[in-house]
Amino acid sequence: MTTLNQRQKEAATMPTYPEYRSLVPPLSASLYKGQGGRVCILGGSSDYTGAPYFSAMSALRLGADLSHVICDEDAATAIKSYSPDLIVHPHIKIRAANAAQDKKTSNDIWAHTFDEINSVLKRIHVLVVGPGLSRDKGMLQSAKHAIEVAREQDMPIVIDADGLFLIQDEPEIIRGYKKAVLTPNLVEFGRLCNAMNVDTEDEEAEQPAVQRLSQALEGVIIIQKGKSDVISDGQKVQVVDSAGGLKRSGGQGDILTGLVATSLAWGLAYEKEVWQHTHPVKKEDVAMTACFGACVINRECSRLAFEKHKRALQSSDVLAEIGPFFHLFYQKPRQKATWAEAIYG
């Protein structure tokens, strides 16, 4: 699979640190609960309960005010037990639907499930789909419904893990929706490219595969995770190549989805002028800037956790680094700091 060649790297652009910083709401007594971001994670099947926790908690650790989880009823108790800070909704009733004695009863259960999902989505700013989702038919059905509703509400959507499996099979769900962000790893990226007929082995291509995949999906933002994180909206390409940790543990990708979600929620508040600012970031650049900053923070927190724990590193260790690092990242550097000064200074 191709990586960015030198010509493509030189053509890549990136936002400045002050631009990302300008999206962050100030800590002010004039703001009320919720204006700092309300995110929702749809995932958490009976087998996978940790992933939605990492996504939802990383959103809170970065600075979101409220974090909801919509999950399978059999996953809810476990997720609730991980933290009282999460608002957990056991609305997806796989077991009850499967045990229904007739089709009408099953349909009534799903209708109620969708109504409950709709009710939660009316209260949030950003939807994350995928952490712990699994490939259960009912979970995927719930995810598809939530994405469709979020699109109707013009809401940013972050899709990862088995949410990408859904997109791979039904790309029309998000095709052309420029407020959608996909966060595939190496394997998931290859599958998406194959589904969209994007040749990842074309060394002569003028544009990197991540940009061509975004174009095939008509402007959906792609964060291609790997040795470097490469981000594209089909027009621009950005590369985050700061050092990360060397230990790969389950949950680190879920942490990124939460960081992206909070950053996108801040972008919405920025656009709505929840606080006064001078508009240093153009509206069309807000989402890419938010994604870039989230990737930087994720990689640095992974690096810091790895320095402390080495091979013993777990995703909970990365989670613990978010608050302390972001405080320095946001408070210490000068307004005109470079990314390097903001990260390491």
> Are the beta carbons of 199 and 205 closer than 8 angstroms?
yes
How far is residue 318's CA from residue 23's CA, in Å, rounded to a whole number? 23
Residue 244 is assigned to a ligand binding site: yes
What pLDDT is recorded for position 262?
A: 98
Q: Which amino acid is at 36?
A: G
Residue 186 is assigned to a ligand binding site: yes
Residue 242 is assigned to a ligand binding site: no
Residue 119 is assigned to a ligand binding site: no
Residue 264 is assigned to a ligand binding site: no
Domain-embedded: residue 54: yes
> Are the beta carbons of 161 and 130 closer than 8 angstroms?
yes
What CATH code is carried by the domain that includes residue 230? Answer: 3.40.1190.20
Residue 331 is assigned to a ligand binding site: no
Domain-embedded: residue 192: yes
The H or E element spanning position 182 is strand 180-182
Domain-embedded: residue 112: yes
Mean pLDDT by 10 residues, the chain (345 residues): 58 87 93 94 97 98 98 98 98 96 96 98 98 97 98 98 97 98 98 97 89 98 97 97 93 97 98 92 97 98 98 98 95 83 88
Q: 209 vs 5, 71, 213, 223, CA distance in Å?
A: 11, 33, 6, 12
The tokens describing 108, both together, are 């009534």
Residue 228 is assigned to a ligand binding site: yes
Residue 246 is assigned to a ligand binding site: yes
* Total domain count, the chain: 1
Residue 37 is assigned to a ligand binding site: no
Helix, strand and coil in the chain, % to nearest 5: 50, 10, 35
Residue 248 is assigned to a ligand binding site: yes
Residue 253 is assigned to a ligand binding site: yes
Residue 293 is assigned to a ligand binding site: no
Domain limits at 142?
33-291
What pLDDT is recorded for position 181?
A: 98
Domain-embedded: residue 170: yes
Length of the chain: 345
What pLDDT is recorded for position 204?
A: 78
Residue 24 is assigned to a ligand binding site: no
Q: What pTM was computed for the model? A: 0.96
Domain-embedded: residue 137: yes
Domain-embedded: residue 306: no
Domain-embedded: residue 141: yes
Domain-embedded: residue 305: no
What pLDDT is recorded for position 335?
A: 72
How far is residue 131's CA from residue 135's CA, in Å, rounded to a whole number? 11
Residue 191 is assigned to a ligand binding site: yes
